[in-house]
Each structure stands twice: as C-alpha cells, then as structure tokens.
Amino acid sequence: MEALHDDNVLDVRNLKMYFPITKGLLRRKVGDIKAVDDVSFMIKKHETLGLVGESGCGKTTTGRCILRLYRPTSGDIVFHGRDISKLSDHDLRPIRRHMSAIFQDPYGSLNPRQSAGTIAGLPLKIHHMVEKRDFNDKIAALFKMVGLNPSMMDRVPHEFSGGQRQRLGIARAIACQPSLIICDEPISALDVSIQAQIINLLEELQETIGLTYLFIAHDLSVVQHISNRVAVMYLGRIVEVASSQELYAAPLHPYTRALLSAIPIANPVLEKKRRRIVLKGEVPSPAHPPTGCHFHSRCELATADCREQRPPLRDVGRGHEVACFKV
C-alpha cells in the first residue's frame, strides 16, 4: 500500500456504532444501542494495544468496525493513512488482506468440513497471492511458523485440540502477511496451561514478522502481559489509556481502579494487603446509558458535573489519558 511506511498503522477517530432498536410490524426505530460511542485511539507500528472491558462494553464491536465487518455510524478509521470507514465492499477488497482477525472460539471459527490446509490457505487463494504449484509449500511454511506439524495439513478441525485449532486460526490470520491483526479474546476458550503457549506464539510472531495487534480481552492480567498500551472501555467509551506498566502502577479512573482490584492475584500474601473496591450494582444497559459520564451511577466520586457532562479523554502526561473530571 502507498503509505506503509507511516508510523501509525491505525488511527481511529470519533468512532460511533449504533444499532437500531426496532419495534412492531413496521420495524419502527424506537432507539439506539450505543455499542461504541465516540471512541478514538491510535496504534503504532509493531505495537500491541490492549482493549479491555466487561462483556457488552463494545470492545468486540470496535474490533469489527475496524475490520469493516460493520459500517460504522460515524467516525473515521484511518488505516495506513487512508480512511476506510466509508469505503464500499469493492474498494475494501485490496485492503482486507492487510488486516485479519483471530477469533475467540476455535471451534466455531473454523469450517468443520474443510481440511486444515484449505482453511489456512483460503486467504491466499482469495487474494491471488499463491501459485497453485507453490500452495502446499507455502502452507507447510505457515504451519511451521505457528508450531503445527505440516503433516497435519489434510486433517479436519475436529482432529485438533483446542490449542492446535487456535494455532490454525493464527496461521490463517498471518497467511497474507497482514500488518494489523485484531485478536478478539483469542485465549479465553483455552485451558489454563495452553493459554501461555498461544500468548508466547503471538509474541514471537510479532517479533519475527513485525505484526501490530489490537488485543481484545476481558482478562486484564493477560492483556497487560501482551500489550504495550492498554485502553479500558466502559459502556461504549474509552475511559483510560496508558502504558500497561503505568495502568497497573497508577490507575487513575475510578472504574479502572475497581477493575484492577477485582482481579485476584495468585499470591496470598499480597492479597491480604490489597484494598478491594467492590462496585455496586451492575453495568447499565447501553440502550439507556446514564447521562454525562457513563460511570457516574456506580462511581464513589461522582458529583453533579459528572451527571451532566461527558468528561473528555485528556492527556495527563507520558501518554496517559483519562476521561474523568475528578483526577
């Protein structure tokens, strides 16, 4: 692509994705689910940006908008210097090979009737990136890269274990040498002892072939391990962005603090000393989010301002951004 030397692989500006709520026979629109509500962030080349939040906060929708599986309601998605948010399907085709996805469920995201080699090689065929006679060699090389034995090429997905299936999903994702991979909860369906293998593989691949990741997950300890920077989402908005070290050492947003304190650490001695912040209530519905700051209904620090105005994401130094009036 024309601007591959650009430093920012992805620049998302004011992204909004609203899903209509319809009612009655005529499917009259009665409201919006604001799944993603004005989200902006950048991802630099060879960087991993983690996106964390609880279920329903819009992290997967954000990923899908970037992949242009959805047409966003508004906002720009600048990928290698080009806004792809409004492109037609036809114009998107040549761009699609530069970004790919790894999905959560290695059982549902692989076609059970295709052989492993066909699955991994399909993107290559679609984008005409391989000659027929080189196909097997190319797939074998891909398999080796992700730690699968090339002799397993002719097997079908059910013959693979969960970890191997996820490796196959990764092989498919890197087949076209993309620059950006959206990893949507890639390890949460795996056994604990297998998760580390996949995390390590993703980290190795990033170093060897220079990938950029958007790593979406709900498990903050995993996200922190793999990411350079972490963005925390709550009810469709980003509430805090910081380097993963800093987010752990000095979280600023009240929601981030509660989220961090909710995660138990596997160390009983440390656990005894930790202060626990237990949030009251539950996440409000994105169809009727609270006014002002979305978090004010559960926030200890909330004042009248928080109820009325939306706090903007502002920089507090060293690239640490937070959307809160009170810090």
Query: Site residues (CB under 8 A) for other proteins?
Result: 54-55, 161, 163, 191-197, 199-200, 203, 218-222, 224-227, 244-245, 248-249, 258-269, 271, 276, 278-279, 282-283
Task: Tell me the pairing of strands 74-79 and 82-83.
Answer: antiparallel
d(CA 52, CA 231): 6
CB 242 within 8 A of CB 314: no
Task: Compute the Cα dihedral for 82, 86, 89, 91 and give only its sign.
Answer: negative
Cβ-Cβ contacts under 8 Å for 12 (sequence gap 6 or more): 39, 40, 41, 42, 62, 66, 75, 76, 77, 78
Minimal distance, residue 171 CB to other proteins, in Å: 18
Minimal distance, residue 212 CB to other proteins, in Å: 15
Minimal distance, residue 287 CB to other proteins, in Å: 14
Tokens of 260: 């961090």
d(CA 117, CA 111): 12
Q: Which is nearer to other proteins, 121 or 254 (CB)?
A: 254
Query: Cα torsion for 176, 177, 179, 182, to the nearest 10°?
Result: 60
Minimal distance, residue 297 CB to other proteins, in Å: 14
| Strand ranges inside 64-202, DSSP E | 74-79, 82-83, 99-102, 180-184
Q: Which is nearer to other proteins, 25 or 278 (CB)?
A: 278
Q: Which is nearer to other proteins, 25 or 249 (CB)?
A: 249
Q: Which is nearer to other proteins, 26 or 278 (CB)?
A: 278
Tokens of 266: 């596997």
Minimal distance, residue 199 CB to other proteins, in Å: 6
Q: Which is nearer to other proteins, 17 or 258 (CB)?
A: 258
d(CA 256, CA 68): 29
Minimal distance, residue 273 CB to other proteins, in Å: 11
Q: Which is nearer to other proteins, 3 or 301 (CB)?
A: 301
